[in-house]
Chain A
Amino acid sequence: MRDGAIFAKAGLPSIAIVTEAFVELAAFTAEAVGMPAVPRYVLPHPCSGTGDENLARVAREAAPGIIDLLEGRTR
């Protein structure tokens, strides 16, 4: 989240990607850095350690939504 806020403050399009377990922390951190609206995309939890095949599937499913956020089609 902090990286996303740093990029956003630098004027670079950015999306913070978090897993479900970290949604509350993400909101808290975004608030703490003074950018409560930093765009974020939520992945299932856990992702790490779930194997290449699953990670590829998660990435395939998430990519269109992340691109939509980056291009401003969704919020």
Chain B
Amino acid sequence: MNLRSTRHQAPDEATALELFHLREWTDGLPVVIPTEERVGDLLAGVELEPDVVIGEIGPGQATVEKIAINAVMAGCRPEHFPVVLAAVRAVTDPEFDIDNMQSTTHGMGPVIIVNGPARDVCGPIASGWGALGPGHRANASIGRALRLCLMNIGGARPGHGDMAALGQPGKFTCCLAEDEEGSPFPPLHTSFGYDSEQSAVTLVGVDAPHSVMMQTNDDDPEAHERILRVVAGAIAIPGANNTQIGNGPVIVVLNPVHAGVLASAGLTRDDVVERLVELAVTPNATMLGWATKRAFRDDNAHLPALRGPEDLVLIVAGGGGMYSAVFSGGLAGSTHPVHAPIDFDFSCELPRVPAP
């Protein structure tokens, strides 16, 4: 295979790893050394030539080859690679405004949401217990591959290319699938016009997730409204960019139990989103007390955290119980949720798949 990247020599993998750390090519954790053979294994699973440019990230061109190198480093297997390619395609959509996200002082990063058959074929990508936490190889590797692309192709190093004042752990990796089977709503990607049998990634630039606890009770006829109010409260928290500046997209990850209560009350996905947009507001009198940038009006207005339904991405995931989550937004309106199809055709045998 004709690869263009510079070859580096090292006597063994341990020395090579030290070289990668020394040259600042890692996220701080050890990486898999991207040998020509390993990169070739990933490239063999896709039909694109290595020199095809998927998009531009800052000063760097994200070619299929460069993305594959970073995906190997992140620990990806060949079947994960189509999801990484789709994620890079999505973040380089101008609507996402990745260059602004790379350089902001706000500790935000992209979250990858996977829908469709790729959840199994390109994974398994977890959507259940601990979907946002450790222990799921595909979730961890795919999200990390995107981060390494942002660092190594896009130059996002802390303190210069990446000016996040603090950052957040989700910037190491953040990828999950939607629990389509456990959700009472149609899969997220169908809201963007995809067929449910197609696969797609949805990328949203957000802050760290905030846990939302709500113990529901089947005897409570108002349970659905209580869930909506507590989730809306988590969107409009005082420290969130959306509260203080407004206009950033947010993600609401509904636990299947919470989603079930909402659906049982007759609410569709659109109904839930609309009600959350309505409820996620802060009284201007309260804003005045916080002396934020939006607190210059003295009327009795309620300041919205969201521009409208288009800024709220709602999915269903997690183990059944009482915890949902909200990812706060940021960048004051310059980033928008984006999506891209996941193209995979593993009709040929994937290279070096170990026996179970």
Residues on A lying within 8 angstroms of B by beta carbon are 2, 21-22, 24-25, 28-29, 31-32
Contact = CB atoms under 8 A, between A and B. Distances in A.
Q: Lowest 3 CB-CB distances: which A-B pairs, in order?
A: A24-B160, A32-B59, A32-B58
Contacts of B161: 25, 28
Interface string B172-210: 000000000000000000000000000000000000000
A55 to B, nearest CB: 15
Nearest to A24: B160
Interface of B: 58-59, 99, 103, 155, 159-161, 163
A57 B135 CA distance: 54
Nearest to A21: B163
Contact of B99 (A2, A22, A24): A2
Nearest to A27: B160
A25 B160 contact: yes
A42 to B, nearest CB: 15
A31 B59 contact: yes
A29 B159 CA distance: 13
Contacts of B99: 2, 29, 32
14 contacts: A2-B99, A22-B163, A24-B159, A24-B160, A25-B103, A25-B160, A25-B163, A28-B160, A28-B161, A29-B58, A31-B59, A32-B58, A32-B59, A32-B155
Contacts of A21: 163
Contacts of A22: 163
Contacts of A24: 159-160
A5 B351 CA distance: 46
A28 B59 contact: yes
Nearest to B59: A32
Given A29-B58, A32-B58, 10 more contacts: A21-B163, A22-B163, A24-B159, A24-B160, A25-B163, A28-B59, A28-B155, A28-B160, A28-B161, A29-B103
Contacts of A29: 58, 99, 103
Nearest to B165: A21
Contacts of B155: 28, 32
Nearest to B161: A28
Contacts of B58: 28-29, 32
Select the residue from B58, B99, B155, B160 with max chain A CB neighbours within 10 A: B160
A11 to B, nearest CB: 23
Contacts of A28: 58-59, 155, 160-161
B318 to A, nearest CB: 37
A32 B99 CA distance: 10
Contacts of B163: 21-22, 25
A31 B59 CA distance: 7
A29 B59 CA distance: 8
Contacts of B103: 25, 29
Nearest to A1: B103
B230 to A, nearest CB: 32
A6 B155 CA distance: 21
A14 to B, nearest CB: 18
Indicate the member of A24, A28, A29, A31 with the most B CB atoms within 10 Å.
Answer: A28
Contacts of A2: 99
